[in-house]
Amino acid sequence: MAAAGTAQGPAGKYVMSGQRRGLLTLTPKGDLWRVSLSGGAAPDGAATAADCELEAEGPLKDGRIEARVVPFEGTNIDLTAADLAARPAKAQVTLNAETASVSTDFQGCGVGADLSGRYVRQTPGAIAEGDRVTDLAAALPDARLTILDGYPWARFAIDHGGKRLAIVQFDGENEELADGRNSQQAIGARLGWSALKPALRVVRVEGGAS
C-alpha cells in the first residue's frame, strides 16, 4: 500500500500529464483494485476525439496493479462479457510516489484516443482536467461560476467559500450553457452548475484549490 507514497495508499484520482486529457481513478474493492480510466484524447475543438473508457480489476503487488478489463456500461462505450470473451484486454498500473504509469492493450478506443500514459495524483478537492460538470457539482455544490471570456474558448472562474479555486475551460468550445446560449452572450454572468451542460469536461485549469 505504500507504493503510492502516501499513508492512504494509491486510492484516489490521477490526471494524465501531457497534451492528452485523461482521468484515472483507483478504488479498493476487497482484495482487488478497481481501475477506472476515461478520456485519452487531445483537445482539438469540434474535432476532439470521443472519450475512451475502461474499467478493470486486479491485485496490487510490488507497486503494480495487474488488472483485467471487466464488463461495464459507460457514457460512450458499453462492454459485455461476450465482447471480452472474444477479445480480452488488460491494464497495468505502475505506481511511483504520486504518479501512475498506465499501459493497456484495450482496443475499444476510437481513433485519436489512447488511455496509456503517465498520470499524476490529484490533490483532494482540487479541480483537474478530465473532471465532469456532474462530478464538480457533486463535490462543490455551492460553488459559483463567472464567465470571464467567451471567444474562442470560454473561461470560467470558480469561487467557493469566498475563495477563487480555479479558472477553467470546458470541452464545449463556445456552447457550454444548458439554456442554448453560448458563453459569448453571457460574459460576466454569475452562474451555478445547473447552467452548464452536465456532460462537459474540464480541458484546462489555471490555478488550483487554495
Could you read off the pLDDT of 101-133 as tens digits, one per residue? Answer: 999 999 988 888 899 999 988 776 678 777 888
Residues 42 and 137 in one domain: no
Residues 100 and 24 in one domain: yes
1 falls in which pLDDT band (50, 70, 90)?
very low
Count CB-CB contacts under 10 A for residue 8.
Answer: 10
- Give the pLDDT confidence score for residue 6 in this predicted structure: 45
Range of the domain at 140: 131-208
Of 5-14, 57-66, 75-84, 186-195, least confident by mean pLDDT is 5-14
More confidently predicted of 179 and 172: 179
Residues 197 and 143 in one domain: yes
Domain count, the chain: 2
Residues 113 and 16 in one domain: yes
- Residue 3 placed within a domain: no
Count CB-CB contacts under 10 A for residue 71.
Answer: 12
Q: 80: which residues sit within 8 A by CB, 6+ positions away?
A: 71
- Residue 7 placed within a domain: no
CA angle 182, 203, 152 (to 5 degrees): 40
| Mean per-residue pLDDT, 193-205 | 85
- Residue 99 placed within a domain: yes
4 falls in which pLDDT band (50, 70, 90)?
very low
Residues 204 and 183 in one domain: yes
Residues 140 and 116 in one domain: no
Residues 56 and 155 in one domain: no
Global pTM value: 0.63
- Residue 4 placed within a domain: no
More confidently predicted of 11 and 180: 11
Could you read off the pLDDT of 46-96 as tens digits, one per residue? Answer: 555 567 899 999 999 999 999 999 999 887 788 999 999 999 999 999 999
- Residue 1 placed within a domain: no
Residues 18 and 114 in one domain: yes
| Cα separation, 156 vs 129, whole angstroms | 14
